[in-house]
Structure formats: C-alpha cells, structure tokens
Amino acid sequence: MSILVLSVSHKTASVEFLSQLAMDAPGAAKFADELMTSEHVDEAVVLSTCNRTELYASVSRFHGGLEDTAGALARFAGLTVGELQNRCAVYFDEGAVAHTFGVASGLDSLVVGESQILGQVRAALTQSQGHGTVGTVLNSLFQQAIRVGKRVHTETSVGSAGRSLVTAAYDLLASRIGDLAGRRVLVVGAGSMATLAARTAAAAGASVICVNRTYARAHKLAEAIGGRAREWAELPAALGTADVVVTCTGARQLLISRAELTGTPVRGIVDLALPADVASDVTDLGVELVNLARLVEDQVDSATAQQIDAARLLVRSEVADFLGLRRAATVAPTVVALRSMASEVVAAEMQRLDLRVPELTQRERDEVHRTVRRVVDKLLHAPTVRVQELAADSASVDYAAALRELFALDPQTVAAVMSPEVPR
C-alpha cells in the first residue's frame, strides 16, 4: 500500500477558497467514510483546520486514488476537479511522509512552529480510529508524526517559542490598538482555538466574557479563567460592552455584521473562523480587523531561518528512519515465507529419513531433527537479517523481489503470510 496526501492550505489557496473546503469534525468523519467507498482507498484521515484541508489515504493505486480523492473533494466544495487541482498540492509515499511530519511539527503552519496543529492532528487520528477509517498504514504514519511533532516542540527553539495563531493575531492587533491589559474582551466560541484565545486574554490582564451556542460550555470556560459567561441570545448586548471581540466558531454563515457593530465600543476584532464569522466591511467603522486573510498577508514569523533549518533537519532524520523501517517491513513477509519453506523442506527430509532408516529411536530422530533445524537456521540467519538491513537503507532495489527470485518462492505463499487488512 502507498500513502497519498491531497493538501489545500494557506500556501496553495486563498482563505476564501479554503472556506469552501472547511469541515467540522462530523463533516470530516462523514467525508472519510465517503473516501472509503473508493476501490482504490483502503484507509482515510481528513484533517481540516482554519488554514488547511487535507486528505490522507492509503491507496492501492496512485492515479486511481488521486482521481477518487480529488473528485470527492471537488464535489464537496462545488468545484470542478480542474479548479481544485490548480489550488492543491499532492504528495506520495516519501513526500507524503515528509509532509505529514512537517505538518505535525508546525513547520507547514501559518505561524511556523505553532503547537496547536499537533492536537488537531491527534484529534483527526482519534476520530478516524473511532470511525474505522484508519488501519495499520495511516495509524503508524500519524502516531509517528505526533511523536516527531512533540520532539520539534520540546527539542528545538522553533517549537519552544510558544507561538500560536492566537498569539500572532493578538500581536498584530496590539500593534494597531495597544495591549489587551485592562480591555473588555468578548470571546465567541468555546472550541480549542477560542479556549486558547480566552486564556491568553485573561493572562494578559483583560476582563473576559464568553459566549457560545451551548451556554454550559461558555460557563465552563469562563469559570476556568475567572471570566463571565452570557447566553447566546445575549451576543448583541455583549457586543455593546466589549472593546475587543475574538471569534472562532464553526458557523457556516456570518455571525457579526457591520450593522451589529455600529454604535458599539468595539475597537478590534480577531476572527479566526473558517468560514469567517465577521463581515470584512466592519473596517469601515474604524474597527481593526485581524482575520485569517490578514494574517496570511501580514504575518512575519519570529522564527529565524537557522531555527527553522534545525527543526527541518530533525524532521528529515525522522522521515529517513520511518521510511527505512517501512521498507524493512515490506521484506518481512518474504522472510517469513522463506523460513516457512525451509521448515517444510526439513519436514520432508525427516519423512524420507523415517522411510530409509525406520529403526531410529525417537530420541535419535529428535536429535537429527534438531541438528538439521540448527543448520538451516544458521544458513538463513545472516542473509535474512542482511536483506532487511539492505531494504531499510535503499529505496532503489526491491530486495523482497530478489529474495523471492533467488529461492523460487511462490508469490501466493508470500501473500498468505502478510498481515490481514483491517476491516472497514
């Protein structure tokens, strides 16, 4: 099986285009289920965040898998496949592994080195595991990507800087209207991004009010940060008492229009939702609006090229190790089949011995069997260990095929010892 990644991100498309592809968690799970109906797709994970929608798949055929995944995503967004292909990147096998590790490490993020993506990758994997759309291939890929992401965040200066989309947005807003200390901040939403925004604002000395469609979630968040919660129906009233608004919901339509802000004391808005929660023309009121499109346009990351290079070096090393283990694993079924064939040869020769020398005692027969078995094991040990080492070190030679050819192994026998597919 091969790994295929279809990626549409802030690097390949505008925020407006990305909004057409945005999915909430239930939508991503449903879409992964749809991908599994393809005859070319065996496993699927959908990662949809505020600056990317990516499809990860284990496929039996590259072109068939790409055609099916691209077609499904284009239909979802109401686009032609051509329109989608002009704004996406495709990664396959080694490139797919490198991309996945880079994403989990925050090196492909709008804010390089941000750590929130790691939780989003973990959540996407957990959801796919729960829905049965992930098997051994993607599970191994994502588990390793999460481990690599943790290494980057703990072992490099890029990851240890504590940067996030929220802090980048606050920094940009502060450069225009001043710090949050002493401000009245209204946080709309209670998901992971909104939670981080609320905690960051409270830590900066702001007075925080939380509003969410589910009041219990808003109350829980407000209680955790020493803020206050208000009912969803009170959002217009809450806007009338806020200096800064931060919003990140999963709404498919605008929540805050220019009319709703007219006459309010709101001076700044951070809109991290995709699609956007706030109308862009609120700037006509003199409101400073920091949204995803603005971050893409204005963001200057604090990480230096040297810091980023150090993190990428770590990721490249991990990619090489993962691919080596993966190549070695492809030889394992052939090695098992070879040892199985050797056992059959030993058994056949022992039967011949019984016919030719029937007077052997059971003790003598057992000793002969152990001797022959030891000879076979010793003869096979070095070449089978070495072939797995060679496979791990080289992607240019099919050592499994060479082993099958040298020992005249039946491909069906090799296939019989391979791990069974994970049920869909």
Q: Catalytic residues, which ones?
A: 50
Whether residue 49 is annotated as binding a ligand: the answer is yes
Please name the residue that has the structure tokens 């603005």: 294
Whether residue 419 is annotated as binding a ligand: the answer is no
Whether residue 164 is annotated as binding a ligand: the answer is no
Whether residue 227 is annotated as binding a ligand: the answer is no
Whether residue 52 is annotated as binding a ligand: the answer is yes
Strand pairing report for 228-230 and 41-49:
unpaired
Whether residue 194 is annotated as binding a ligand: the answer is yes
Length of the chain: 424
Residues paired with residue 57 on neighbouring β-strands, in sequence order: 4, 44
386 burial level (CB within 10 Å; 0-12, 13-18, 19+): exposed
- Three-state DSSP class for residue 246: strand
Whether residue 88 is annotated as binding a ligand: the answer is no
Distance CA 309, CA 165 (A): 21
Strand pairing report for 228-230 and 207-211:
parallel
Distance CA 47, CA 29 (A): 10
Distance CA 159, CA 152 (A): 6
CA dihedral (238, 241, 246, 249) in degrees, to 10, reads 10
- Which string of DSSP letters, residue by residue, matches 363-391? HHHHHHHHHHHHHHHHHHHHHHHHHHHHH
What angle do the packed helices 192-203 and 215-225 form, to 10 degrees?
A: 30
The Cα diameter of the chain in Å comes to 108
Please name the residue that has the structure tokens 């049920």: 423
Whether residue 191 is annotated as binding a ligand: the answer is yes
Residue type for position 395: A
Whether residue 116 is annotated as binding a ligand: the answer is yes
Written as six digits, the tokens of 20 are: 């057409």
Whether residue 2 is annotated as binding a ligand: the answer is no
Whether residue 320 is annotated as binding a ligand: the answer is no
Whether residue 404 is annotated as binding a ligand: the answer is no
Distance CA 60, CA 44 (A): 12
Whether residue 190 is annotated as binding a ligand: the answer is yes
Distance between alpha carbon 419 and the CA centroid of its chain, in Å? 24
Q: Put the strands of the sheet holding 41-49 in their side by side order.
A: 41-49, 52-59, 2-9, 89-92
Annotated binding-site positions: 49-52, 109, 114-116, 120, 189-194
Binding site for NADP(+), residues?
A: 189-194
> Annotated binding site for substrate, which residues?
49-52, 109, 114-116, 120
